[in-house]
Structures are given as structure tokens and as C-alpha cells.
Amino acid sequence: MEPDPVLLAEVRAGLVREIEASGVWRNDPAWRAAFAAVPRHLFVPYYYVGVSGGYERLWREDPDDGRRTRWLRGAYTDAPLATRVRDGDLLSSSSQPSLMAKMLNELDVRPGDRVLEIGAGTGYNAALLAHRLGDDHVTTIDLDPEITESARQHLAAAGYRPAVMTGDGAAGCPERAPYDRIIATCTLGSVPRAWLAQCRPGARILAPLATGLIALTVRDAEHAEGRFLHTPAYFVPLRGGDARTPYDHHIGGLPRGALQSELFRFLLELTAGSLDPHEALALWQREGRPVRERFGVTTSGPYEWAWLDDPEGPYVWPL
């Protein structure tokens, strides 16, 4: 069933206006054209919304007019959408469009850049990249063949045909390398070494790590370094060779005010396994409740570490 064209135009324009109001496109308005052109509803023919006791499925072919209208309006809200749920666990989602806009803006693409996306999701992000750079310059990869097949179908329906690969994103996609940019839409525990080897010198890697976004500049196949951006980010974890085991923080006894701080929880996650929560609290208080931008990550040969202010220390933690 085709959506009502008047309503479709209204909700699409509304989403673009909402993202634009945040100022994210101030320095690169070409992304506005991409978000205005790529139809998000084709990438979420169904999705799940939380209800008491589980999830409710909204879908494009629902015979009820009211529910189809809810589906369409939801597809163009500035919110993440759960697109794949199994046994009550979220496996895949379409990210919040304004966060996608921020990440794409921070990716700092240039004409001719070759981009690898880790985590195909619905295919929507790959479509935005393909609109900007061209199909031949975009590769997206996911471990789950069901996800890649549906992403491929969504992309074709919207008129885009980037390379959609099935495989372990932690290993990158060497057959399509080298890359000028790598963007991950899943949370990492560390930056896979394979990515660096598949990048050109000077390439940029943007990925969720802990509860932040790390932006790394690649020097060569063994070295990369960069700082966290201001933006918080929560994504489904990477599945595959570099998947991270969830860390039990044992946070009993910590002050409520600290636990309510999103920045302190970021520090807890970043230093998991290196500092116990009370050591992390002492550091956080001693350093004046540091913001994300003071933290960074360095990869050098077989070693990778996070740091506060200076990659040479005194505050460094292995990843």
C-alpha cells in the first residue's frame, strides 16, 4: 500500500526541518539534500514500539488506516526504531536520524571518498552515503545474512545499489579496500586492527565506543589516534570477532549524584576492567568531572589504550 502522498510530504519535510534546527548541517548543507531525498519509510516497512509486556509491531501493509498512519508518522520521527527483535532482545535498529546526521557530518567526507559502514541495519545510512558519494564508493557490511538481504532490498526499492556484504564487520571488508572513511553503527569494545590496514593514510574512523563517539585519524596500518566527540551515543553492540563482553560494574555504594551523571557512566564504561568504580569516581571528582572531549584513544601496533588529556599519561587505560 502506498502512503498518502500529502501526509508523506508533510512528515518528510517535518523531519528535515527538525534536524536542521539543531544546526548540525551548518558547515555541510549537502547532507540536508540527502536527508530530504532518501525516503526513510522504505527502510522501515515495519518496526516495533515498546508496550507494556513487550513490543507492538507497526507495518506498512496493516489493513487498519489509523495504524498505517501511525507507522508512517513514526517512520519520520526523530527517534530510533527497533527493526529486529528476537526473544525480547533488540538485534537491529534504525538509528535516530539527528544522531545519524551528526555522525555523517563528523565523518567529514569529500567527493571521491570510499566509505565502509560497519553494521548495515536497515540500509538507510548506506543510502544517505550513496546519495552523497555514489553507489560505487559505499560498502556496508553486517554479520547477519537476514539483515544484509533486507538492507539490499530496501536500498533497491529506494534506487540505491551500494555494495552490501555479509561478514564479520570486525574484519572489515578487504576486497573493497582501501577506504578513506570507516563509520560504525554498533558499539565497539576496541578498534579492530583490520580496519587500520584497510585504510589509506589520513583516513578517518568514526565509531561508538563506551557511550561516546571516537573520531580517529589513521596514520598507517599500525597507528591511529583521536579524541571523543561531545555527542553521547548508544548503539547495539558489535557482534563478531571483536565483540565485547558486558562488564559488571558492581556500583553499589557509589553516590546517587555520580550515578545520575551521563559523563560519569561514560567514564565507568571506558575504564571497565582497568579501574574499579570507586577508583573511577575518585578520578572523576579529582579531575573536575571531565567532559568527553578530554578523552581519547590511541592504537599503536598491538597496543590500544584510552586516555585523559594526554596519550602519554598519566591517565591511561588499556582497551
**Is the same domain home to 15 and 100?**
yes
- Residue at 128 is within a domain: yes
**Is the same domain home to 205 and 266?**
no
What's the confidence (pLDDT) of residue 253?
Answer: 76
Using the predicted structure, report yes or no on whether residue 240 has a pLDDT greater than 70: no
Enumerate residues 6+ apart whose C-beta is below 8 A from 64.
none
**Is the same domain home to 113 and 261?**
no
Instruction: Tell me phi and psi for residue 52, to 5 degrees.
Output: -60, 120
Using the predicted structure, report yes or no on whether residue 144 has a pLDDT greater than 80: yes
- Residue at 265 is within a domain: yes
Q: Model pTM?
A: 0.92
Higher pLDDT, 127 or 250: 127
Domain end residue (candidates: 166, 198, 232)? 232
What's the confidence (pLDDT) of residue 251?
Answer: 65
Distance between CA 93 and CA 82 in Å, rounded? 4
**Is the same domain home to 90 and 131?**
yes
- Residue at 269 is within a domain: yes
**Is the same domain home to 169 and 262?**
no
- Residue at 240 is within a domain: no
**Segment 62-120, tens digit of pLDDT:** 999 999 999 999 999 999 999 887 776 777 789 999 999 999 999 999 999 999 999 99
- Residue at 263 is within a domain: yes
What's the confidence (pLDDT) of residue 248?
Answer: 47
pLDDT classification of 280: cutoffs 50, 70, 90: very high
- Residue at 250 is within a domain: no
Yes or no: say if 35 and 19 are a contact pair by the CB < 8 Å rule. yes
What's the confidence (pLDDT) of residue 6?
Answer: 95
**Is the same domain home to 55 and 175?**
yes
What's the structural domain count of the chain?
A: 2
CATH number for 74: 3.40.50.150
Boundaries of domain holding 274 = 256-318
**Is the same domain home to 266 and 225?**
no
- Residue at 210 is within a domain: yes
What's the confidence (pLDDT) of residue 177?
Answer: 97
Tell me what the mean pLDDT of segment 247-267 comes to.
80
**Is the same domain home to 193 and 286?**
no
- Residue at 243 is within a domain: no
**Is the same domain home to 174 and 266?**
no
**Is the same domain home to 79 and 151?**
yes
Using the predicted structure, report yes or no on whether residue 250 has a pLDDT greater than 80: no
Q: Reduce the secondary structure of the chain to three states and give it as a string.
A: CCCCHHHHHHHHHHHHHHHHHCCCCCCCCHHHHHHHHCCHHHHCCEEEEEECCEEEEEECCCCCHHHHHHHHHHHCCCCCEEEEEECCEEEEEECCHHHHHHHHHHHCCCCCCCEEEECCCCCHHHHHHHHHHCHHHEEEEECCHHHHHHHHHHHHHHCCCCEEEECCHHHCCHHHCCEEEEEECCEECCCCHHHHHCEEEEEEEEEEECCEEEEEEEEECCEEEEEEEEEECCCCECCCCCCCCCCCCCCCCCCHHHHCCHHHHHHHHHCCCCCCHHHHHHHHHHCCCCCHHHEEEEEECCEEEEEECCCCCCCEEEC
Domain end residue (candidates: 169, 200, 232)? 232
**Is the same domain home to 107 and 37?**
yes
**Is the same domain home to 225 and 272?**
no
Active site residues: 95
